[in-house]
Chain A
Amino acid sequence: MSRKKKPILTASPPAPIDLNPRTDPPLDFPDRELDAMRPADYAELGFLCGLEVHQQLLTEGKLFCRCRAGQRSSRVDMEVLRHMRPTLSEMGEYDGTALMEFKTRKDVVYQIDRTTVCTYEIDDTPPFPIDSQSVRIALEISRLFGLNLVSELHVMRKQYLDGSIPTGFQRTALVGLGGVLPFQGSELGEREIRIRQLSIEEDSCREVSDLGHRVVFRPDRLGTPLVETVTEPDLLTPLDVARGGRLIADVARASGKVRRGSGAARQDVNVSIAGSRRVELKGVPHHRGLPLLVHNEAFRHLNLLRIRVELLRRGVEPVALAFDPAYSALESPLVLDAASIARTASYRPVRAAIDRGDAVWAVRMIGFAGLLAHRTQTGRTFAHEIAERVRVIACLTTTPFLINSDEHELVGGTWSELRKALRADGGDAIVLVWGPEADVDTAACEILIRGADALVGVPSETRQPHADGTTGFERILPGPERMYPDTDMPAIPVQDEWIEEIEVRLAEHPWEREDRYVRMGLSARAARVLGGARWAFLFDAMEPSTPACARRTAAALEKRLVHWWRESGTGELPAAERLAPLARAVDEGRVRAEAFERAFDRLLREPDATPAAIVSDFAASDHDAADFERAVSELERDAPAARHGDEALLHWAMGRVMPVFLGRLDPASVRARLHDALKCEEPV
């Protein structure tokens, strides 16, 4: 066996900021479902959660080039292939994530639609000056969060070696830090959320596929400006995580300058419990699923901490799983080329692997017997933690690619033969892994690393949210080492005039807006919906002044716009000038409020008719009374002979009359008059 030397690049240890302040995990706390938990239970767990909310800005152009922002395309004109290598931070350290991505040795492919990108996005042209519209929006949103603004923006490079950005780093700049947001909606009563910081950055590529050593991205979205708002870990229950996320999104939206819609707002959620450290759930696209995700993650932490304690009880030490990363994993006495032993096993996937010429190695995990089958999440065991890490880093794709002695039977005494060959005893677990040799080497190393990490308890990771509320390993959590200054961009001083201008016309906070809507006569529910809706600006521009008109306006916007969008196929907001005359007419009593919706619908659907003409169709006039009396006479004449009760008759009559007099006459008095005219006997 050749002692082939591999490059070793070592990463720095996790930052203390990532550790949960409490070190005493409540190991005896029973695993419970989300709906069986009370806020006090999460307090007992030491549950802490912080959010990083990403929201795209509503700008014309991208942040560092002049391509149009907010594009999405599946057209492929050409492809570009790249590879990523880790580089040192200015502090002289490698970032752990960067090293992990380097180990994966992936081909990174960019599929390019030539109409959505220029040479900046494929990293063949240096950045153009930063989009100043984006900077001003970010400053404005920072002020909405009450942040202290920096006086000079330094564009930084945040390393991303997964290929999601062709440069290998995201350009980002800190705009503000240290703010406090009132959190009225908390289930723990009135509280605050501290905002750590807000930065402006370029959005990354969309991932198309990630299979084995090939990951494919589309750079249409790349470079779209976004703000990232980071909270302190102030969210203490799963429900509050969702509510806090909504609040933060709403504050930024209050500026009216962030994009909405799918993919426009995504959040990373940082979770820890007592005794664990920060784990980041990456890119959760909506708030609805957040509670279950963070709940499950909290119990994953608890289970990993239980495994840790059991390993410590068994006297397992990290050194027992140590190996020299400079050499092939086979150099370690814990790893064995198991092809000849496994050949005798009747397990089909292993036999198939041997037939393909794959390497089949066995790894001895000292002291892990039984623990690979330990539950971590719903339907998941600790062995999954290992398998996921191997899949991602070693790029093993043909499933299954590993089995373990805790969970799998192998006929023919294979496990005991492997035990013998590895000098393992009953207290050890064995993992059998197969695939291309280079990948299996990486896999064996990762199995040992994940084993050693079990003694830490919860490794710092970035995890992917799954639809069922569980999470899967995505990458090692990056640290501050991944940030280094962008020498392509000069520092950008924040002009005092910009700030003054922003302060003068600063948008209302969502809660201020809601309060205002309540004062205008809306219900609390209607005010909340309207406050967070993108048509809130339209409501304000229509300027309803009486409570009745305000309620009708809010209701019509909430309910009727959707119908119109569905029919017309657009999602656009109508012009305020078109709708405002209706609100004015209702406020002034020229049109009765009941006619609002009907008139509103016609204003949307009859673009050729002037608003004045449509509104006047519903306006009261001098001859309404005479017209109505004529209509009543006609009804008396046409009334059906057979009566099925007064109510049915009145219903019929109202149906005849009201459409004609909608907006002009009070429906109650119309009904009373008809009641008399049709000689109804039941009281009105």
Chain B
Amino acid sequence: MSDADDFPGYREPTLSILRRFDTPVWSDIRAHTTRGLFEGLILPRAETADEAHISLKLVSGYNVGLRHDTIESIEKVGYRPADYRVPEEEFPFDPDKPRVILFGTGGTIASRLDYRTGAVIPAFSPGELYGSVPELADVCNLVTEKLFGVFSENIDAGHWKILAERCGQAIEDGYQGIVIGHGTDTMHHTAAALTYMVADSPIPIVLVGSQRSSDRPSSDAAQSLINASSVAAHGDIAEVLVCMFGPTSERYNLLHRGTRVRKMHSSFRSTFRTLGDVPLAMIEKGKIDPIKHDYVRRDPTRTPDVQPYFEDKTTLLYYYPNMQPDILHALIDNGYKGIILAGTGLGHVNSIQFEALERARDEGVQVYMTLQTLWGFVQMYVYETGREILERGVVPLANMLPEVAYVKLGWALGRWPNEPEKVREFMTTPVHSDMTAGEPVEGYLVFQGGVPEVQDFLKTIWS
């Protein structure tokens, strides 16, 4: 008799039916049903699917569901377990190529589909990667290490700390570059965290992800992986970078500074944008064209300073009209040590917060102001409200992105838990352009489609 492992994904009432006819998953069957004869292979049932149907793969390749109450009898005619493997071939070693380490964290990059859960799971050994993106062997000698298998949204400060330590270790081990495969949703948070946690890196640390998992023919994973590996292996920019599609067309990737980048669309390939500045470089087929030149150069003699700290009692509060002050009070009551406000316009919240802000100041909770407009600078002197907020100890953070400010504050509070002045000083000091002296005029480009001149531009640029 078969056990539960033979029926992955099946629950009652279908489970009993499959047991009764002794037809576990991967059985070749002929099912006699009230809707006719169905012949095929029983597949694992997706865990998110209902319990009323059996998944069957027909000889044509199509899958269909058979409802339990239509089944009259099932004949087992064979058993054919699937062998789902990315073809594994040894990753070739070339002594003339740089050594790059690829850390896996569990995003959709370099992944394959788990057909039972419908989830994407990492295809991660160098052999598997070589099997699916053989061009990587032209770029570098790749070593991979799977650190965790979590979706982007489940990445937390604990993961950042481990990543930072592993980066430090990899630098010590003499790798010429580090690539981190990461889910895209929170890639910019991780990029910021590593910027602060791994100071003075002598080599590039490149985060890469994909918006279309590599189980799709149109995936962006291969191009991005190839370009990210090239940047890590051969690039001269020893900073924490995000390497993602420039346009939605499969043409080039952009390199974004980890402190100025943000995911801006839920599903477009070109989702990552540098905000308030221009990106660092373009990279096409492994060739890097710098756009900015003020970056930190690769320098193998530099010693990294790895400081894996984070204060969990840090938050990011997105202001909205009619916000009640009890939220701020609740944060203080719950022992929060640092609060980043994402204020309106030039950096405002409503005046009914003033009393709570005073309480925060008096109780030593650090409060900083950033902008929900994302572009532009905090300027709290222009309006009366701004000045009143400043008077209550809220510190403006220029054009630092709210998420970056959150990560920076959490790190600083973790690094100097008992030195508020040190934290304040660090927060107001620009690090890797998390605040810039000004905004280049082309640092804000959000064009509006439909406008004739923009359409003309698109016609030229998207062709």
Contact = CB atoms under 8 A, between A and B. Distances in A.
A381 interface: no
Interface stretch (A63-71, A152-160, A573-581, A663-671): A152-160
B459 A78 contact: yes
A126 interface: yes
A383 B8 CA distance: 52
A91 B217 contact: no
B37 interface: yes
Contacts of B95: none
Given A15-B59, A484-B113, A86 B217 contact: yes
Interface stretch (A262-270, A487-495, A550-558): A487-495
A478 to B, nearest CB: 9
Nearest to B462: A78
A122 B245 CA distance: 15
Contact of B449 (A83, A114, A161, A167): A114
- Among B57, B83, B85, B461, the one with the most A-chain Cβ atoms within 10 Å of its Cβ is B57
A483 B87 CA distance: 18
A567 B45 CA distance: 59
B63 A166 contact: no
A164 to B, nearest CB: 11
Interface in A158-176: 158-159, 161, 166-169, 172-174
Interface in B53-71: 53, 55, 57-67, 70
Interface string A91-127: 1100000100000000000000010000100111110
A90 interface: yes
A168 B217 contact: yes
Interface in A442-493: 479-485, 487, 490-491, 493
B217 A92 contact: no
Interface in A349-369: none
A7 B134 contact: yes
Interface stretch (A143-151, A217-225, A645-653, A672-680): A143-151
Given A148-B35, A151-B67, A484-B115, A90 B218 contact: no
Given A85-B217, A87-B217, A149 B59 contact: no
A178 B65 contact: no
Contact of A491 (B49, B132, B214, B250): B49
B216 A90 contact: no
A493 B115 contact: no
A505 B49 CA distance: 31
Given A7-B134, A84-B217, A159-B217, A490 B267 contact: no
Size bracket, chain B contacts: 35 or more
Contact of A91 (B82, B86, B249, B250): B82
A8 B251 CA distance: 25
Contacts of B381: none
A660 interface: no
Contacts of A157: 216
Contacts of B86: 88
Given A148-B36, A484-B113, A82 B267 contact: no
B82 to A, nearest CB: 5
A9 B87 CA distance: 8
A38 B8 CA distance: 56
B115 A85 contact: no
A80 B458 CA distance: 11
A25 B82 CA distance: 36
A682 interface: no
Contacts of B461: 78
Nearest to A126: B267
A80 B61 contact: no
B269 interface: yes
B62 A90 contact: no
Contacts of B290: none
A114 to B, nearest CB: 7
Q: Is the interface of B mostly helix, strand, loop or mixed?
A: loop
A178 B58 CA distance: 12
Nearest to B36: A148
B62 A491 contact: no
A411 interface: no
A124 B267 contact: yes
Given A150-B65, A482-B61, A90 B269 contact: no
A10 B458 CA distance: 40
Contact of A124 (B43, B67, B268): B268
Interface string A222-258: 0000000010000000000000000000000000000
A98 B216 CA distance: 12
A681 interface: no
A592 B61 CA distance: 61
A487 B65 contact: no
A634 interface: no
A174 B217 CA distance: 22
B418 interface: no
Interface in B104-133: 112-113, 115, 118-120, 132
Given A9-B87, A491-B50, A174 B62 contact: yes
B37 A174 contact: no
Contacts of B165: none
B365 to A, nearest CB: 41
A166 B267 contact: no
Contacts of A159: 217
A82 B462 contact: no
B222 A485 contact: no
A608 interface: no
Contacts of A91: 57, 82-84
B52 interface: yes
A437 interface: no
B433 interface: no
A151 to B, nearest CB: 4
Contacts of A114: 449, 455
B60 A90 contact: no
Given A80-B249, A490-B49, A491-B50, A154 B55 contact: yes
- Ranked nearest first, the 6 interchain pairs of A and B with the lowest CB-CB distance are A152-B65, A168-B217, A148-B36, A483-B61, A480-B61, A7-B134
9 contacts: A78-B463, A87-B219, A90-B113, A92-B84, A92-B85, A151-B67, A169-B217, A491-B49, A491-B55
Interface of A: 5-10, 15, 17, 76-92, 98, 114, 119, 122-126, 148-154, 156-159, 161, 166-169, 172-174, 177-178, 196-197, 199, 230, 479-485, 487, 490-491, 493
